[in-house]
Structure 1
Amino acid sequence: MNAPTKLEKKIHTLTHKPLFLVALFASTSMTVLGNVVIAPSLPALNEHFAHIPHADVLVPLILTLPSLFVMFFSPIAGIAIDTFGKLRFLLPSMVIWSVSGVLGFWLDDIYYILISRAVFGIATAFVMTSASVLVASYYTGSERQKMLGVQGFATAGGSAVFLSLAGYLSALSWRYPFLVYFLGFVFFILASIYLFEPKTPKHTLHESHSNEPFRIWAFIPVYFMGFFVMVTYFVSPTRLPFFITQYLHESPKIVGISMAISAVAFGIIALFYERIRIYLSIKQVYMVALAAMGSAFLLFFAFHTYWVVLVGLILLGCGGGLILVNNNSYLFNIAKPHQRGKAMGIMSSFMFFGQFASPLITQPFIRTYGLLELFLGLSVVIFALLGAVSLRKI
């Protein structure tokens, strides 16, 4: 094993400074703002634009349209950053992300808002892909596992904070949550001061200039898992609010708190990912996470009390957090250094496609069989996937 060079020691020192970590993980957590900030404003937006033809279709698009553009542009972003570098795209994208996000505060035409959301989605694709690949480029081995866990914690923590902030602001006006995107300018300043373009170590330099083609088939299981976990995890924000209010007859006021508890569980388990990997292999982490998610939906189906639902939400958050961090770790392990951007870009595309497809997949099932039957069906499918993973060599 080669001893670290002076340059590598200097990079190690730089990448462990507190303000550097704040800049890095603020950049990676920006993308959670996309849907979280606008979601509480949807009822007020629907009322404000009620006079517009097809407002019932157009208003929800304010929430989902960025996901579609992330899905289409993430692979392009991955190819671009592999070719030209990460910061060259990250910093301008952060500015565009902030400007297009905050524009909704001033716009009063729903079609202009939708155009701004489309631009916002394109910027999100570049921010998400660049920032995630930077984490993989700055750190290696167990250190990378630790930082991927911190990234998951920062993302979930940001989600919980922004969900609470957006809920408060949306009570004042549907316009005010758009102002939260001003935080992007703060994150941009931090990133421009503290982040740097990582250099490839000499002992892997020959890999970076390799002409070895990108073989997508090697990544299909990882991409499928990213898509699958998003389809199932997003049942929580899209279906459980109806379960809590209509089936359990609880107050709508506790829905936000319930979702936040799941996000906190997601973040905490991600933070402990490095320690979990000491005892469990990548395959075993997948199995434990799937068992947690399958058990959560089984609890939703079998026990109709709010406290059991909270336990299920904690299990769902833990399972989802483990799978996403484990997935990124596995992806960066099997991807060549010069292919990480492309590999992560396609991963982002699959994950956002899962978010977008989740209600489209689950709604026909609910219409035909019912919400409780959906929970049972998801549990069966998840445990079947658990069995398949147990038989596969990873």
Structure 2
Amino acid sequence: MTKLEKKIHTLTHKPLFLVALFASTSMTVLGNVVISPSLPALSEHFAHIPHADVLVPLILTIPSLFVVFFSPIAGIAIDTFGKLRFLLPSMVIWSSAGVLGFWLDNIYYILISRCVFGIATAFVMTSASVLVASYYTGSERQKMLGVQGFATAGGSAVFLSIAGYLSALSWRYPFLVYFLGFVFFILASIYLFEPKTPKHIPQEHVDDEPFRIWPFIPVYFMGFFVMATYFVSPTRLPFFITQYLHESPKIVGISMAISALSFGIIALFYERIRIYLSIKQVYLIALAAMGSAFLLFFVFHTYVVVLLGLILLGCGGGLIIVNNNSYLFSIAKPHHRGKAMGFMSSFMFLGQFASPLITQPFIRLYGLLELFLGLGITIFVLLVAVGLRKM
């Protein structure tokens, strides 16, 4: 290890550096989590607006659409001009567009601010994730990707709790949580630095290698699939808990937090898991956990089993997402990581956006329990397909 490498290693393991880095990567979780508890109050406040039943949910979902469209653009720009050049301005735009909702009283202006917010999210998410892959290599990268997953899940649980409390006071107050983005921006601007391209890679060789999306299609499909299935948890299980199990709505938030906590804890142990299991074996075990969770929901209708299923779902989803990112960065060339991660972000947010659109027609035709059965079977079919595929 050269003196420069030792210096970089020291810098990238300092506590405040890690706080700045993973605060940046967890920012994007705030996108939907912060606003979701305010939706009922928003619906009531804008009830006099024509088509409010359509427009109010768009406040929650429209940023995801803009992430889908702009993440590949962000990836190309990051690979061309650098990560921090886009991360830092995007953090300011993200925070500014987010807090605007506190002052705006026109739903159309709020929706415009959410569109800008979605574009900024695409750049923050892509550049921050690529920074993690650029700062670390090998098993160290696996460890830090796990920490990133833990920070994301932990941030989700914390911000959901804060937003839930603030939404009880007013629908406006949760928008103020986006002020945290300015704090994260200050930390990032002080501690983060632009990783340099290794000198042993000839520049002409870099430029002559165009980015090809086809080798990444299986990874992108897995990202889309896991997000579409994992988001059945926050969108459908609350109805299952309250309407099928006749439990109190008060325990829904706790139930979702348990799933998020499981997601984060398993991600934190990803590096250790990879010591004993290959990337393919991790996929198989994670898919088995998710498939078993949905089959448990279908067969056993007790709250205790639902909690067990949520733990399995969180563990499976956490493992797949971290494993997917690790595999993506292992096969992507350093000068193509931005583009590779940009498309990954796009497919993952597309899965998140598409989840209710895919599941709702199925529920109307067959029912919620049948959806759980169908998902369980589908996941195990995918497990077999992954098992047969060479990696």
Do they superpose with TM above 0.5? yes
**Which whole-Å deviations, capped at 9, do the CAs of 1:19-53 have from their partners, x for residues lacking one?**
00000000000000000000000000000000000
Quick check: 1:207–1:337 contact (8 Å CA) kept in 2? no
Other structure's SS at 1:107 match? coil
**Which whole-Å deviations, capped at 9, do the CAs of 1:97-123 have from their partners, x for residues lacking one?**
000000000000000000000000000
Alpha-carbon deviation of 1:213?
1.4
**Residue 47 of structure 1: aligned partner:** 44
**Which whole-Å deviations, capped at 9, do the CAs of 1:124-157 have from their partners, x for residues lacking one?**
0000000000000000000000000000000000
Other structure's SS at 2:351 match? helix
| Counterparts of 2:4 and 2:330, CA distance in 1 | 23
**Which whole-Å deviations, capped at 9, do the CAs of 1:188-211 have from their partners, x for residues lacking one?**
000000000001223345587241
**Residue 77 of structure 2: aligned partner:** 80
Greater alpha carbon shift after TM alignment, 196-205 vs 235-244: 196-205
Quick check: 1:101–1:120 contact (8 Å CA) kept in 2? yes
| Counterparts of 1:216 and 1:179, CA distance in 2 | 39
| Counterparts of 1:202 and 1:271, CA distance in 2 | 32
| Counterparts of 1:246 and 1:25, CA distance in 2 | 38
Other structure's SS at 1:187 match? helix
**Which whole-Å deviations, capped at 9, do the CAs of 1:222-253 have from their partners, x for residues lacking one?**
00000000110000000000000000000001
Quick check: 1:297–1:378 contact (8 Å CA) kept in 2? yes
CA 1:207/1:153 → structure 2, altered by over 3 Å: closer, same or farther? farther
| Counterparts of 1:359 and 1:78, CA distance in 2 | 27
| Counterparts of 1:171 and 1:204, CA distance in 2 | 55
Other structure's SS at 2:201 match? helix
Other structure's SS at 1:202 match? coil
Residue 183 (structure 1) aligned with residue 164 (structure 2): no
Greater alpha carbon shift after TM alignment, 133-142 vs 207-216: 207-216
Greater alpha carbon shift after TM alignment, 194-203 vs 57-66: 194-203
**Which whole-Å deviations, capped at 9, do the CAs of 1:249-293 have from their partners, x for residues lacking one?**
000011011000000000000000000000000000000000000
| Counterparts of 1:292 and 1:191, CA distance in 2 | 36
Q: TM-score, normalised by structure 2?
A: 0.99
RMSD: 0.8
**Which whole-Å deviations, capped at 9, do the CAs of 1:135-192 have from their partners, x for residues lacking one?**
0000000000000000000000000000111000000000000000000000000000
Alpha-carbon deviation of 1:312?
0.2
Other structure's SS at 1:204 match? coil
CA 1:179/1:282 → structure 2, altered by over 3 Å: closer, same or farther? same
| Counterparts of 2:149 and 2:127, CA distance in 1 | 16
Quick check: 1:208–1:338 contact (8 Å CA) kept in 2? no
| Counterparts of 1:299 and 1:217, CA distance in 2 | 36
| Counterparts of 1:393 and 1:157, CA distance in 2 | 34
CA 1:171/1:353 → structure 2, altered by over 3 Å: closer, same or farther? same
| Counterparts of 2:84 and 2:140, CA distance in 1 | 22
Quick check: 1:149–1:273 contact (8 Å CA) kept in 2? yes
| Counterparts of 1:393 and 1:346, CA distance in 2 | 23
Gaps of at least 5 residues in structure 1 are: none
Quick check: 1:207–1:338 contact (8 Å CA) kept in 2? no
| Counterparts of 2:51 and 2:153, CA distance in 1 | 34
Quick check: 1:208–1:336 contact (8 Å CA) kept in 2? no
**Residue 259 of structure 2: aligned partner:** 262
CA 1:294/1:208 → structure 2, altered by over 3 Å: closer, same or farther? farther
| Counterparts of 1:301 and 1:329, CA distance in 2 | 32
Identity of aligned residues (%): 90
| Counterparts of 1:206 and 1:221, CA distance in 2 | 29
**Which whole-Å deviations, capped at 9, do the CAs of 1:56-105 have from their partners, x for residues lacking one?**
00000000000000000000000000000000000000000000000000
Residue 234 (structure 1) aligned with residue 231 (structure 2): yes
Gaps of at least 5 residues in structure 2 are: none
Quick check: 1:38–1:178 contact (8 Å CA) kept in 2? yes
Q: TM-score, normalised by structure 1?
A: 0.98
Q: How many residues matched? A: 390
Quick check: 1:207–1:336 contact (8 Å CA) kept in 2? no
**Residue 68 of structure 1: aligned partner:** 65
Alpha-carbon deviation of 1:384?
0.2
